[in-house]
Amino acid sequence: MPHQLPDLPYAYDALEPFLNEETMRLHHDKHHAGYVHGLNEAEEKIKAAQQSGDFAAIRGLCDALAFNYSGHLFHTLFWNNMSPDGGGEPEGELAAQINKDFGSFATFKARFLAATNSVQGSGWGVVAWQPLGAQLVILQAEKHQNLAQWGVTPLLVLDVWEHAYYLQYQNRRPEFTEGFFTVTNWEDVAACFASARK
Ligand code: MN3
């Protein structure tokens, strides 16, 4: 079964004014769809190379696989991390973990924004659960796959590729990333957090 593009969990214009319909349509229907297509294509080519015994070809194909798989995963998470009913602050165990690892929600937010705003070129800000340290970690991803840590589970991701914001915000990345907190779906992040710790 090839990978499939999931529908957005809300209407294309549901996140306005933070993100307009045109940005969301292009981002989901063209960019995310492109990663799904690239992922399926890479998997097919790897399967064909395995069957023909051309193992030397697989090294290059794995670059495409890592890039497109990570792009598909992050976009799927990103759509669910936002909601027209989002915003505010996390509650419950997620809030307690944030306070434990970062001291306060304000410090967490400031660190996440600093990390995300300083991604070099195209990439993501990432909040992940790191099981070995039993802690939340703030990471950057360059492109989708670089700078990852093995074994961590991403819970919250913020896309700062220019396609995510340039139509509306041009070069004002910090305005876009600050606005993300008006739609953050903390219930979804908390559900991902609970699932990651099982
Ligand atoms: Mn994107």
Could you report the per-residue pLDDT of 150-196, keeping only the tens digit for each?
A: 999 999 999 999 999 999 999 999 999 999 999 999 999 999 999 99
Measured in Å, residue 123 CA sits from the centre of ligand 1 at 8
Residue 160, domain member (yes or no)? yes
Query: Among residues of the chain, what percentage have pLDDT more than 90?
Result: 99
Residue 12, domain member (yes or no)? no
Beta-bridge partners for 156: 127
Measured in Å, residue 30 CA sits from the centre of ligand 1 at 10
Encode pLDDT of 36-74 as tens digits. Answer: 999 999 999 999 999 999 999 999 999 999 999 999 999
Residue 176, domain member (yes or no)? yes
Which of 197, 100, 188, 93 shows the shortest CA–CA distance to 153? 197
Measured in Å, residue 54 CA sits from the centre of ligand 1 at 33
Tokens (6 digits) for 35: 């990663």
Residues 165, 100 share a domain: yes
- Domain housing 161: 92-196
Domain boundary among 57, 80, 103: 80
- The per-residue pLDDT for 50 is 97
Has residue 1 got a pLDDT over 90?
A: no
Beta-bridge partners for 135: 130
Q: How far is 10 from 14, CA to CA, in rounded Å?
A: 6
Encode pLDDT of 64-114 as tens digits. Answer: 999 999 999 999 999 999 999 999 999 999 999 999 999 999 999 999 999
Angle at which helix 105-117 crosses helix 92-102, to 10 degrees, equals 70
